[in-house]
Chain A
Amino acid sequence: MEFPATLFPSSFSTGPPREERGPAPAAGWGELGQVLETSPGCHQVRPPCLGQSVREHRRDQARATLTSYLLSLQAEMMFMPHRGGTGESWEPANAAAVPFLPPSATCWVPSLVPQDILYHSFLRRKLPVSNRVPAVDFTKQLSHFFVDHPEDAFGSLGQLLHKNFHLGDSGVEVGASRNNTIRMTGLMEEINRLDARRGCPDEYLASRLRWFSHLSRDWLFEVPLGLLADCVHEELLLQWAGLLFDDGSTGGALAWLPTEDAGACTGCLVYPGGQGMNHLYFQDVVLEEQPRTRGSCAEFELNGRIRQVAAAQSDGENFVGVRSDYHCGVWRVPGRTGAAPIPLQVIRTSVPASCLTVSPHLSGELAICTQSGSTYLWNVETGLQRLRHDPQTMFFRDHSPWRWCDFTAHPRVLSCADRTGLQCLDARAPRRCHFDLFKVGEEASCQQGERVVLPMYLGKAHPSQHLVTTQFSIYVVDERLPLVPVLKWLHMMKSPPLFAHLTPGDPGRSHKLLLGASRTQEMLLLQYQGERWGGQSACHLVGSPQKLHTIAGCLEHLPTQLPHHHCLLQQHLGTPAAGLAAMLQKDGRQESLLVFQLSEAGDVFCQRLTHEVAKPHVPTSGEEAMAAPGSSPLFEDPASSPHEAAVLRYHRWLKAVSKCCGEPPWHSCPPTRSQRRLFTRKELQTLAGPSALHQQARQRLHQAMQEGGRIQHWDLPDNQSCVILQPPEPVEGPDTLTARLAAAWSGDWSQWWEERTSFNRAKRQRALRERRRRQKQARGHRSLSASFTSSLTYQSELSELSDSGLPQLSPVLPQEGSPLRGSPPPSLVPDEALLSSQSLRSRGIPKERRKTLQDYLGVWAEGPPEPPELPSSQASQLCIPSSQSQLSSVSQTRRKRPRMGF
């Protein structure tokens, strides 16, 4: 283990961090940090693009200052920068991450979002919003509890008193019970009315209610209200803290186990799954053109949510450690292909464990930390050995109970970490032998408020190096030179990197370091160099950091979805990441890095980065175009759509998602304010069921489908079917209904009507040609605004997709001038037929209200068109509140009410 002969210069001082910066957006760019002379024999690290111009420059200069001795120096001296040397180019092989496994078969429970627990109503604007004291809506949570679990909330007193409360409309019967019974009807009515008045700013509590609550507060509840509220509030704050930063998944719950078999491109992927993420799967994977699973996976059901899966190989066998909150387990997986995993041992902790690492040196050895501040060395054969117990943090006081430990170059020395730094201690004499490895302070020129987020032993690349990530920076520290990081870089990630993966490079090549964040799913690929053997070069960062595809990023490459599907998918794909794994696949000169990413919803997506080994890297403009795809619809080009195989995978995955998750529970959405003005609650309720109008419309659509097959039917339960209309191929005369609906969808409905009345076929054809030309043109024009409006015009695009064999995955750009914008206001002529007095009467709407409704709709017919931003489904909802209320409710995402574990 050679130590680099010269290190990059850096100044050193001690004490708490002085710099006060906070997250800075571009802090990681542009700096070389320091330079160090390299002998000319060493590989040269020089920014490539400037190379040519430098040579020219040098020639010019040579003429000018021939006498200078400095000049002759230039030929033999090379300097290498601490950051920003030339790295390898790894290009994404695909435009987006591809689903690797089918979605988990059980229903996915959406994770908590801030809206669930924060107070958001008209009041929010008045309340000061600050990060430290969030306005947590705990009354909502309490009311959920009272409504959903009345037995638990008021059970015993409810049973005692139910004879003494009369809730019916009629008067209290005369009899023996009369003296003991109170009529509560008025109170009930008032409660009901309260519900209707919710959201009204001048809401006041009826005095009777107030009296009642005053009277009953002390005895009515099973759990004293104050205590319950305290607990709920505390829990809410905890949940909120978890939303801000959840360190439970530190380390990541995805692991790749390589096999020993030479030549076989196989391995095993270990990941959690199931509704509670409490099933552990070992899946054999074959790496070919596309990685694919082989055989069935081994499954273990655990009794806790799996937080972390750690793996290491020693003596040709893989050891997998699994951490859930109160249990840690270890499995052994022999290095052969297809070998079954063997569970070895489980331990239970009384305090949640925060870390589990597997020793890369000795088989069956692991290290555990718990939130109480204890660190244990766990040997499968000899059991647990407590190395340290200290509820306090190491270097300064920090409230976080998070602890971490990892192995070092010496198998008996462990590095222990908390938010303030890292310390190494010898397991043979943990109290006596220890030294500080990293400290949040001036030693590493940290910033104020900086905290350790994830330490990792980089033993695979260099036996004595460790990675330390904080919310601002990454550091590489060397055990042999403690406290002074040999590398520091501000990573600029939006949320702190909780996962990291190292792919060591061969001698002379760079080590690839992957950082992953949880909440934002960001992944960053860094390269650094620091020779393990023989090389004298100090550790330095090479190449520029590279962003990898996120799971959520594939959304724009999926076929266009119905709005509510889109929202569901968005939610599903946007769940925080839960782990990452990567493996290097060598295939002759071509190398590729396969990166797997796991989300909290149990999805495993994978992507491939490729690198040509032998060819020296010369960036060209063509290459830049190659690297560009998939970035944004702004710069769309044909190369940006995923490969066919990927498209197939997307399809299969989407199908599986809709199959196993099914539709969200069907609820009609609460009536809008205007609807409430027009109808009573009763009327609105009756309208929710399928009506004659519904039947009629559906019949017509069915018919159209039989005739032309132009209506796309989405596999929904029958009575909830929701259809999308598409503009037909204009060449063969379509049936009138389809054509009309198509025109209506694309916005130029009135034109269609005109054409229909004039029967000017030639004119129509010309107009159609014109429209196609415009569409093509619009596709040619790429503007920034276009990318933002694309989501609003999904329906009109569906047509283009349906008839081509394979669905097109790149998002189609909207036509120039969004259809809703350019056309004259849609007239209500056809709708009048649907909403004639007759049809309204058939739906049980009383006469006087029918008039109001027609007046109301008249306003829409006369008035200016709806602002173009309004999605068409919403616009139609305003016109036909009755029949469309279902549609609109679908388009709104239904979230389960958070129950906070009640």
Chain B
Amino acid sequence: SHEHKLNFGKSKEMCLNFIQDAMLQKQWKRAAEFLTFYAEALEKDFSREYMGPSEIIWRIGTEILCHHSDSSMKEFNSFIEQMKTLGVKRYLKVCLEHSFHLLCNGLIHEAYQSLSLAESWRFGEQRALQDKEIKLIQAYKGLLDYYSWSKQKNILLEHGQDGLEDLSVEQEMHSYFRKAAVNLKEIIKTPGVWDIFVKCYVDLLEFYGDDEEARQVLSEYAYNSKFPANPNAHVYLYQFLKRHGESKKSLISALKILHDLVPSHELMIDFNTMLHKSKKRKKRRLGLEVIFAVLDYVGWKENVKAWSCLARQVKQIVISEKHLDWIKQEWNSRKDWWPPFHFSLYLAKKNWQENESLSYEKALVSGIILGKDCKYFRYVSHQGCKAKVKRFRILKKFVNKHSPVHLRVSG
């Protein structure tokens, strides 16, 4: 009857609430007890909701078995096997999750078997409907094949030096390569974040000398507009280019794109050094822009390396007295917020206490740009002279000597 259904639904819901409550308080045993009652819900599944009891049981059961003190891998596996039979609609999802659990527990071999089984699963239209999962299953299988391949490769390389020839091992390695390459190639065609797969695939290709394909894969991954703007894609491309001894120009252009995307990326320091060394004025100008942009970000606020890059370049410009307008231009958009952001008295005290060389670099920059009356410079140079550190005395002299510069820069 309808009322019966309602009551049943209500008690089922209540039971689920109890389970949820217990799990959120990490009372796994209690949750497990309640779950045994909840299993009853499977018998009379009237729900038309998105998530039926069978999925709920799978999710909750997995979670409990992961935390329950009495659970074992054997139990976990048998539970999952039962769950697989419970719903064809998420068969592959359950398989995939199962392999993840196996992988996280170090059972690589079992995970591989589970993935292979899942890959060969056929169930009418269901397989096509779970296309996303099947792709992932294949990709992870490819990944494991790759790991086997690289293992074999290492063995061969070691043995190769001994002059031993092991044909079977080599053949096995090649077969692993073929299996891995097919699957990995497939997944990186679809838009997404596939860092690990791309890395492995490129490694495979590079080993077999297919650099052209590798480059294509990497530039596709970095520049295809259907893919998300993943900084790592550019990093991989840059590293690949660097490995293959590409020209400075192409390296710079790769990093320029990364700079436009993520001005705060850690490679920007390399980029800056590269640009700084360049003979072209335009590139040195860009270098200054890059280092200023890096220091805009909170994450770099206390980075000595970045500050020393800026200090060095600013110092050079001041000494050469050329291109002071570069500093002026950069400073223009920052003059209203860099002083409180970087050069406050509070920060002077803090930096001096925590990191002397940071305070030195910052004092140099602030002294040049803001003049010798800047609070930061005054405090740090005073403290430095008091502590009789030589470089601070030189710094003071330098700033005093070039004091008119700040008027030209910030005026």
Name the interface residues of A17-32: CB closer than 8 Å to any CB of B.
Answer: 20-22, 24-27, 29-32
Q: Contacts A2-B266, A24-B50, A53-B72 known; A411 to B228 CB distance under 8 Å? A: no
Q: Which residues of A contact B191 (CB under 8 A)?
A: 11-13
Q: Which residues of B contact A45 (CB under 8 A)?
A: 104
| A474 → chain B closest CB, angstroms | 15
Are A26 and B105 in contact, with the CB atoms below 8 A?
no
| A648 → chain B closest CB, angstroms | 25
A65 to B106, CA, bound (A): 15
Q: Which residues of A contact B351 (CB under 8 A)?
A: none
Which residue of B24, B63, B264, B265 contacts A524 across the interface (Cβ within 8 Å)?
B24
Q: Contacts A10-B192, A11-B191 known; A480 to B264 CB distance under 8 Å? A: yes
A77 to B72, CA, bound (A): 21
Q: Which residues of B contact A37 (CB under 8 A)?
A: 196
A61, A70, A78 interface centre (most CB from chain B within 10 Å): A70
| B33 → chain A closest CB, angstroms | 10
Which residue of A21, A49, A78, A547 contacts B21 across the interface (Cβ within 8 Å)?
A547
Q: Which residues of B contact A409 (CB under 8 A)?
A: 264, 297-299
| A360 → chain B closest CB, angstroms | 8
A68 to B109, CA, bound (A): 9
A412 within 8 A of B: yes
A397 to B376, CA, bound (A): 49
| B408 → chain A closest CB, angstroms | 23
B337 within 8 A of A: yes
Q: Contacts A315-B346, A361-B298, A628-B30 known; A3 to B104 CB distance under 8 Å? A: no
A621 to B199, CA, bound (A): 43
Q: Which residues of A contact B148 (CB under 8 A)?
A: 69-70, 73
A410 to B235, CA, bound (A): 22
Are A74 and B341 in contact, with the CB atoms below 8 A?
no
Are A46 and B232 in contact, with the CB atoms below 8 A?
no
A37 to B72, CA, bound (A): 23
B25 within 8 A of A: yes
Q: Encode B45-68 as 1/0 by CB contact (under 8 A) with A.
A: 000011100011011111100111
A12 to B193, CA, bound (A): 7
Are B231 and A3 in contact, with the CB atoms below 8 A?
yes
Q: Contacts A412-B337, A628-B27 known; A481 to B230 CB distance under 8 Å? A: yes
B344 within 8 A of A: yes
Are B296 and A412 in contact, with the CB atoms below 8 A?
yes
A624 to B264, CA, bound (A): 45
Which residue of B21, B55, B56, B229 contacts A482 across the interface (Cβ within 8 Å)?
B229
B195 within 8 A of A: yes
Are A53 and B108 in contact, with the CB atoms below 8 A?
no
Q: Encode B61-80 as 1/0 by CB contact (under 8 A) with A.
A: 11100111101111010000
A620 to B265, CA, bound (A): 44
Are B341 and A6 in contact, with the CB atoms below 8 A?
no
A590 within 8 A of B: no
Q: Which residues of B contact A80 (CB under 8 A)?
A: 104
| B205 → chain A closest CB, angstroms | 18
A628 to B264, CA, bound (A): 46
A635 to B103, CA, bound (A): 36
Q: Encode B266-305 as 1/0 by CB contact (under 8 A) with A.
A: 1000000000000000000000000000001111100000
B136 within 8 A of A: yes
B379 within 8 A of A: no
Q: Which residues of A contact B265 (CB under 8 A)?
A: 1, 3, 480
Are A624 and B27 in contact, with the CB atoms below 8 A?
yes
B97 within 8 A of A: yes
Q: Encode A625-649 as 1/0 by CB contact (under 8 A) with B.
A: 0011001100100000000000000
Are B193 and A8 in contact, with the CB atoms below 8 A?
yes
Interface majority SS on A: helix, strand, loop or mixed?
loop
Are B16 and A50 in contact, with the CB atoms below 8 A?
no
A93 within 8 A of B: no
B312 within 8 A of A: no
Are B97 and A624 in contact, with the CB atoms below 8 A?
no
| A380 → chain B closest CB, angstroms | 11
B180 within 8 A of A: no
Are B105 and A12 in contact, with the CB atoms below 8 A?
no
Q: Which residues of B contact A482 (CB under 8 A)?
A: 228-229
B101 within 8 A of A: yes
Interface size class of B (residues with CB under 8 A): 35 or more
| B362 → chain A closest CB, angstroms | 15
A22 to B300, CA, bound (A): 41
| B51 → chain A closest CB, angstroms | 4
A382 to B340, CA, bound (A): 13
Are B104 and A30 in contact, with the CB atoms below 8 A?
no
Which residue of B23, B227, B266 contacts A29 across the interface (Cβ within 8 Å)?
B23
Which residue of A4, A54, A463 contacts B106 across the interface (Cβ within 8 Å)?
A54
Q: Encode A57-77 as 1/0 by CB contact (under 8 A) with B.
A: 110010001001111111001
Are A71 and B109 in contact, with the CB atoms below 8 A?
yes
A248 within 8 A of B: no
Q: Which residues of A contact B100 (CB under 8 A)?
A: 32-35, 79, 81
> Which residue from chain A places its CB closest to the CB of B103 in the assembled complex?
A79
B20 within 8 A of A: yes
Q: Which residues of A contact B196 (CB under 8 A)?
A: 6, 9, 36-37
A286 within 8 A of B: no
Q: Which residues of B contact A33 (CB under 8 A)?
A: 100
> Which residue from chain B places its CB closest to the CB of A82 in the assembled complex?
B100
Name the interface residues of A721-774: CB closer than 8 Å to any CB of B.
Answer: none
Interface majority SS on B: helix, strand, loop or mixed?
helix
B251 within 8 A of A: no
| A5 → chain B closest CB, angstroms | 7
Q: Contacts A9-B136, A12-B193, A35-B100 known; A57 to B107 CB distance under 8 Å? A: yes
A72 to B148, CA, bound (A): 10
A6, A360, A443 interface centre (most CB from chain B within 10 Å): A6
A125 to B300, CA, bound (A): 64
Are A6 and B232 in contact, with the CB atoms below 8 A?
yes
Q: Which residues of B contact A619 (CB under 8 A)?
A: 67, 69
Are A315 and B344 in contact, with the CB atoms below 8 A?
yes
| A387 → chain B closest CB, angstroms | 15
Q: Which residues of B contact A5 (CB under 8 A)?
A: 195, 232, 235
B194 within 8 A of A: yes
Q: Which residues of A contact B20 (CB under 8 A)?
A: 25-26, 492
Q: Contacts A7-B230, A31-B97, A58-B106 known; A49 to B194 CB distance under 8 Å? A: no
> Which residue from chain A places its CB closest to the CB of B100 in the assembled complex?
A32
Are B66 and A50 in contact, with the CB atoms below 8 A?
yes
| B139 → chain A closest CB, angstroms | 7
| A627 → chain B closest CB, angstroms | 5
Are A70 and B109 in contact, with the CB atoms below 8 A?
yes
Q: Which residues of A contact B346 (CB under 8 A)?
A: 315-316
Are B193 and A49 in contact, with the CB atoms below 8 A?
no
Q: Which residues of A contact B30 (CB under 8 A)?
A: 628, 631, 635
Are B341 and A12 in contact, with the CB atoms below 8 A?
no
B323 within 8 A of A: no
| A439 → chain B closest CB, angstroms | 12
Q: Contacts A50-B66, A624-B28 known; A30 to B58 CB distance under 8 Å? A: yes
Q: Which residues of A contact B159 (CB under 8 A)?
A: none
| B411 → chain A closest CB, angstroms | 20
Which residue of B50, B192, B299, B347 contacts A464 across the interface (Cβ within 8 Å)?
B299
Binding site for B on A (CB under 8 A): 1-13, 20-22, 24-27, 29-37, 45-47, 49-51, 53-54, 57-58, 61, 65, 68-74, 77-81, 84-85, 89, 315-316, 360-363, 382, 409-412, 428, 443, 459, 463-464, 480-484, 492, 524, 532, 544-547, 619-621, 624, 627-628, 631-632, 635
15 pairs from A and B in contact (CB 8 Å cutoff): A1-B265, A1-B266, A30-B61, A30-B63, A31-B59, A53-B74, A70-B148, A361-B298, A409-B298, A409-B299, A410-B264, A480-B262, A483-B229, A619-B69, A624-B26
For the complex with contacts A7-B230, A26-B55, A547-B25, 19 further pairs of A-B residues with Cβ separation under 8 Å are A5-B195, A8-B193, A9-B194, A13-B191, A30-B58, A30-B63, A46-B104, A50-B73, A73-B151, A81-B104, A315-B340, A315-B346, A362-B340, A459-B298, A481-B230, A483-B228, A532-B299, A544-B26, A547-B24
Top 3 A-B pairs ranked by shortest CB distance? Answer: A1-B299, A30-B59, A547-B24
